[in-house]
């Protein structure tokens, strides 16, 4: 069945974890008293970049900036569809300076960048399905930003409410497999949002809490290969049963900051 799944080459924007650290706590995963092994983080991040390139994807980089330890989580900096860049306005004051550096990169690359007026954390809470945008709210990105994104992008935006602080961004609770399907953890969502997801994706691959807590849903799929946390073993098995090819990449050092594979990966469409 995996032979019928089609890999589509992607273009990713990343940021080296040269200054990565946990210096503050803005989600339940973060504890400044728990040290980060920066060398290991570098090694893990390089393995992710290597895996992307080995599978035919283009990877470009933003220069990391001292004093911005979370800049490695490039997904949060913008949401890009049809060459339109909907930038970020971070909820936490500590992260707000990141936006300027990413906006500068996009502008230098020839893009116009829309800076949202409401709190919006890029691909952390805005997920492209190929037809419309799934948009998370509840902890970070606001409903006002959902409306703003729809106006700017010209694509329908479907709001989903997150209810578990461990899954504070939509990309920790759901990822897109291809143009037809998604994978998600139902209990991360409100009852109404679960019903919306059931209606939109009746054949979705569902994850357990154990796999969600292992960052199994902070994954990146190219339509065939799924770059996934190695501890999410049951989910990897379910994906394989559905014809996808799991590509385990260990980003455990980044879990200390509440991030994983997708958090480190901004897709430029």
Active centre residues (catalytic): 169, 263
The CA distances from residue 98 to 17, 92, 131, 204, 223, in Å, are: 13, 11, 29, 34, 30
- By the 10 Å C-beta count (0-12 exposed, 13-18 middle, 19+ buried), 31 is classed as exposed
> Which letter does DSSP use for residue 55 in this model?
T
Residues in the chain: 269
The CA distances from residue 82 to 104, 150, 215, 248, in Å, are: 19, 13, 28, 30
Pull the structure tokens for residue 137: 């709210």
> Which letter does DSSP use for residue 191 in this model?
H
- By the 10 Å C-beta count (0-12 exposed, 13-18 middle, 19+ buried), 234 is classed as middle
Q: Which of 114, 189, 171, 111 is nearest to 145 (CA)?
A: 114
């Amino acid at each position: 069945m995996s032979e019928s799944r089609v890999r589509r080459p992607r273009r990713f924007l990343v940021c080296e974890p040269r200054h990565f650290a946990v210096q503050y706590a803005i989600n339940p995963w973060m504890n400044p008293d728990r040290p980060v092994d920066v060398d290991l983080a570098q090694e893990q991040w390089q393995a992710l970049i290597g895996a992307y390139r080995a599978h035919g994807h283009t990877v470009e980089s933003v220069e990391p900036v001292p004093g911005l330890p979370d800049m490695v989580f490039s997904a949060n900096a913008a949401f890009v569809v049809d060459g339109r860049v909907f930038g970020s306005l971070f909820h936490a004051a500590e992260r707000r300076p990141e936006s300027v550096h990413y906006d500068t990169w996009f502008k230098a690359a020839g893009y116009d960048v829309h800076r949202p007026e409401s709190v919006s954390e890029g691909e952390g809470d805005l997920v492209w399905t190929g037809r419309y945008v799934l948009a998370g709210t509840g902890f970070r990105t606001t409903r006002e930003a959902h409306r703003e994104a729809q106006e700017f992008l010209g694509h329908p935006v479907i709001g989903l409410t997150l209810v578990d602080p461990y899954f504070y961004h939509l990309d920790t609770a759901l990822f897109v497999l291809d143009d037809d399907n998604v994978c998600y953890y139902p209990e991360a969502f409100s009852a109404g949002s679960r019903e919306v997801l059931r209606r939109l994706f009746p054949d979705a691959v569902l994850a357990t809490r154990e796999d969600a807590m292992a960052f199994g849903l902070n994954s990146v799929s190219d339509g065939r290969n799924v770059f996934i946390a190695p501890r999410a073993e049951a989910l990897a098995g379910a994906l394989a049963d559905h014809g996808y090819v799991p590509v385990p990449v260990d980003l455990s050092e980044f879990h200390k900051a509440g991030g994983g594979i997708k958090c480190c990966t901004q897709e430029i469409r």
